[in-house]
Amino acid sequence: MIIKFLCRTPFLSYVTSSRTSFFSSKRHFFSNHPTTVISFCKNQGKLTKIRCSIYLHTRSSVSCSVTPAMAREKEMEQVDRILDAKEDDHGGVTVEMTNEPLDPSVFASLLRASLSHWRQQGKRGVWIKLPIELVTLVEPAVKEGFYYHHAEPKYLMLVNWLPGTANTIPANATHRVGIGAFVINERNEVLVVQEKNGRFRGTGVWKFPTGVVDEGEDICDAAVREVKEETGVNAKFVEILAFRQSHKSFFDKSDLFFVCMLQPLSFDIQKQDAEIEAAQWMPFEQYAAQPFVHGHELLRYISDICSAKMEGRYTGFSSVPTVTSFSQKNTYLYMNGNVRTTGSDDS
């Protein structure tokens, strides 16, 4: 016989057991050991109810005492709440944990109940965004089939593919995006720098200002920012002249590098002391004549493109403001300015 009481208020977990007393009859021994189990899970805004149960067991043979391990197992079985999750557009769910402490064993029970529920619903991918403060919850999640998808300074993202079909979870970000800035003034002088760190340190090579595009930053804006940071020169983005894709680069990720043309709006140089050894305006012919440029096919191509642009024989891709149809976010389409489209206006 099982007597159950449903409680709405969270309690601290405890298990109490009275000693077992045995009563004999002609045919049965009875084990009378009322056990009170009150289950508690720290409120994460994800739980639905708590059960408090009083058990009265009757057996047809000699009963044994309830051990702490048995009581703990029964306590975990009584947790019937699931984690709060938001459905995504691909038939999966995302759980975003808060940074409030949570006991790993309680989390494991919640996760098992949740996974069972999501499987019954036919969910596919399950994502758990775990604040770095809850790193102790990684182990129980991994034991339930989750694996690392990516990590950021403040959180870990774990994922689990539930169906028995081929896993179609998209991989983590595969590319890093960089820019090189071709800044040319009216005297056909190009803005060049010598780096204080990295592979070009101490080589005497003059190169274009370069850098990495930040998260959420447009390529055209990154080019303007890098020129300003490295040389102090204000500039206006004109075009993307060319781009290069390479693989097995930074942490084995692929790399996209965009060569951008900019028009200088100021000319006084104030170099960045932390990263730049020297910066100057240099005649383009002198830059292109460097042995380092001549010795690398890619740099020769870039130099030829820049030269053709200066002579009016080449047109790159200018940035056209637009809006995505999916998210309604402002973005840029990079396109050849000589092509007239239905979206163009006379202004």
Residue spans per domain, the chain: 86-161, 175-319
Q: Active-site residue numbers? A: 229
pLDDT of residue 36: 41
Query: Can you list the alpha helix ranges (DSSP code H) found in the chain?
Result: 68-78, 104-120, 138-143, 219-231, 284-288, 291-294, 297-310
Q: Tokens 């101490």, residue?
A: 202
Phi, psi of 184 (to 5 degrees): -120, 135
Q: What are residue 157's phi and psi, to 5 degrees? A: -115, 120
The pTM score is 0.67
Confidence at residue 30, expressed as pLDDT on a 0 to 100 scale: 38
| Residue 213 structure tokens | 């595009």
Cross-strand partners of 255? 176, 246
Class assignment of domain 175-319?
alpha beta
Radius of gyration of the chain (CA): 33
**pLDDT at 70 (0 to 100):** 60
pLDDT (0 to 100) of residue 293: 94
DSSP assigned state of 29: E
Query: pLDDT for 267-326, tens place per residue?
Result: 999 999 999 999 999 999 999 999 999 999 999 999 999 999 999 999 999 998 988 777
Residue linked to tokens 């990154």: 222
CB 74 within 8 A of CB 39: no
How is domain 86-161 classified at the architecture level of CATH?
3-Layer(aba) Sandwich (3.40)
> Cα separation of 210 and 250, whole Å?
15
Helix axes of 104-120 and 68-78: crossing angle, nearest 10 degrees: 40
Same fold, 86-161 and 175-319: no
pLDDT at site 20: 40
pLDDT, position 17:
41
- The ranges of the chain with pLDDT < 50 are 1-64, 71, 74-76, 78-79, 346-347
Predicted confidence at residue 312, as pLDDT, reads 93
**20 — phi, psi (to 5°)?**
-80, 135
Q: Which residues contact 222 (CB under 8 A, 6 or more apart)?
A: 177, 179, 211, 212, 213, 214
pLDDT number for residue 251: 80
Q: What is the pLDDT of residue 23?
A: 36
- What would the DSSP string read from start to end of 77-145? HH-------EE-TTS-EEEE--SS---HHHHHHHHHHHHHHHHHTT--EEEEEEEGGGGGGHHHHHHTT
